[in-house]
Structure 1
């Protein structure tokens, strides 16, 4: 196969990563408005976040098999196309069925792309996985922050129509599709493609549990953080700005921490630190949301952003081949997202039942503490790489 410029491979990876989050985080600044206009309960509108996350879990195991049929690069290109279509559908999102249906389509595409992008890193960047995962997670942080920060201005610029503000995120997906179509495609022949996920590996379960908690915390906050601040007495503009700060703080942690993990071989110590930081920050948002809110917005964004980025690194060191990495990642995403999808819905449901966000946020704080304990249990790392 003719060599392809390494910089173009990295650019394709970053652009694909950018498209994995805006379809979800773009809803948070508008979720109360959408719920009011469509007359939806909080638990029902939270399906726009929960259903993509559920699909991202349930469909992740199919990713390696699709790569065998279509080739890794063409499968990822297909995912970019589906993401673009799902986001374009939101232009008619005034129908709640269309809005929720687009969320399912979006989650299906992200589910397949996630494990394959990890395999893509293992194939093309095996010698510097830590730094490349840093770029990969930075791309996702950029997409997530962009969805949170830019959706409201885009909505206002597009006639104050929230359906247009949501649909505008199809543009980077179309750009990603064009680039991935130019990448050389390689059909997989690895015998591991037919293998199942590493269910019998205890470390796979630990990694999956850690990922499930951090993902659940992220998506619960992506859905309800603005509403929590607003309920506590902060203005809607101030609440949106705090959420934007949290998303933006994922940028430095997503890039810096994977690099530090590879440079100093301390990824589990860094995971522990991120867990502690997230626990303290969530406790303050839960019990004292108006005390130094900017500080805790910064620290929760850094802690959860770092936890996510570091969890992406873990399967790369547990498995040997690109498809083996995809299998470990598929199990992590399957288990993690299948559980994480419940946190936005349950948070909204408990809010409806209790009349306050404090009780569900207390549970989120306890989950952050449990995440910290898991990082402590995993601290010794793998003794060898598994196939």
Structure 2
């Protein structure tokens, strides 16, 4: 096969990654308004976040099988097409059925794309995985931050109609799709190591999956309810939105910097512990003293969770030797992780409805951050393959 320019391969990876989060994070700034206009309870409106995450978990194991049938690159292109369609549906989303249905489509596409993008990195960038994962996670952070920061201005620009503010995020998906249609496609032969299934019998796979589940659960709970928590504590809605935007933006430097540091100094597990501690302290302050230095804790929670996510993406790359095997490790991590993580936004909203305030559910989130730190410490005896 004729060599394809590495720069275009990296650009394709970046464009695909940018589209994995805006469909979810764009809902957070508008969630209270949508709930009021559609007369939905907080636990029901949280399904717009929970269902994509559930799909991302349940459908991730099918990603390697689709790649074997269609080819890795064409399958990712198909996922971008589905993301675009799901987001365009939100332009007519003045109904809970359309809003929740688009969330399911979105989650299905992200579920398949995630593991395959890890395999794509292993195939084309095996010699510099740390730096490329940095670009990958940075791009996801940009997409997530963009959804959080730009959705309100976009909504105001588009006749103050929240359906258009959500649907505009189909545009980057269409741009990404156009490039991926031109990338060379290759179908993997099923002769690689690791067999045909996921690594269910590998203890480290379970440990990595548990860590990923907690950090993802914390991210999606905050993406859904952080603005409401700040607002309940007495901060204005504009101030609350700005704090959420800051936390999303802080995922940008940590998403790029920490994978690079992990590769450079071979210390990814120590960095995971540091991110866990930072997240635990930040969540404790948001829980118990949300009006004390809120900008500081918005910065640190964004940096800690952004770094945890970026570093967790690196882990499967060093556990398997081939693109399809890496996809299987990643599929298990995403399957277990997102299947559990999808519960946190719903349970947080339900606990808020039952308790009458957000402090109790945020206390539980703080405890989960501490547990995440413990798991990172347990993983410090890494796999035999070292960072390269």
Settle same-fold status: TM greater than 0.5: yes
1:197 is aligned to 2:198: yes
Distance 1:209 1:247 in 2: 23
1:84 is aligned to 2:84: yes
Q: How does 1:222-301 map to 2 (within 5 A)?
A: 222-301=223-302
Residue equivalent to 1:371: 372
Q: How does 1:89-108 map to 2 (within 5 A)?
A: 89-108=89-108
Residue equivalent to 1:323: 324
RMSD: 0.8
Unpaired stretches in structure 1, ≥5 consecutive residues: none
Unpaired stretches in structure 2, ≥5 consecutive residues: none
Distance 2:58 2:2 in 1: 36
Residue equivalent to 1:52: 52
Distance 1:169 1:331 in 2: 28
Residue equivalent to 2:61: 61
Question: 8 Å contact 1:35–1:42 — kept in the other structure?
Answer: yes
C-alpha deviations, 1:228-287, integer Å up to 9, x for none? Answer: 000000000000000000000000000000000000000000000000000000000000
1:40 is aligned to 2:55: no
Q: How does 1:92-241 map to 2 (within 5 A)?
A: 92-192=92-192, 195-241=196-242
Q: How far is 1:212 from its partner?
A: 0.1
Q: How far is 1:190 from its partner?
A: 3.2
Question: 8 Å contact 2:279–2:369 — kept in the other structure?
Answer: yes
Secondary structure, counterpart of 1:191 in structure 2? coil
C-alpha deviations, 1:66-116, integer Å up to 9, x for none? Answer: 000000000000000000000000001101100000000000000000000
TM superposition score normalised by structure 1 = 0.99
Question: 8 Å contact 2:317–2:326 — kept in the other structure?
Answer: yes
TM superposition score normalised by structure 2 = 0.98
Distance 1:379 1:194 in 2: 27
Q: How far is 1:187 from its partner?
A: 1.0
Please list every run of at least 4 consecutive aligned residues from structure 1 whose deviation after the TM superposition is greater than 2 angstroms. Answer: 190-194
The size of the alignment, in residue pairs, is 385
Secondary structure, counterpart of 1:248 in structure 2? helix
Question: 8 Å contact 2:90–2:163 — kept in the other structure?
Answer: yes
C-alpha deviations, 1:313-361, integer Å up to 9, x for none? Answer: 0000010000000000000000000000000000000000000000000
Distance 1:41 1:194 in 2: 45
Distance 1:87 1:126 in 2: 33
Distance 1:375 1:339 in 2: 18
Q: How far is 1:384 from its partner?
A: 4.3
Distance 1:322 1:154 in 2: 38
Question: 8 Å contact 1:65–1:194 — kept in the other structure?
Answer: no
1:362 is aligned to 2:385: no
Distance 2:251 2:143 in 1: 10
Distance 1:58 1:319 in 2: 22
Question: 8 Å contact 1:212–1:335 — kept in the other structure?
Answer: yes
Distance 2:165 2:21 in 1: 15
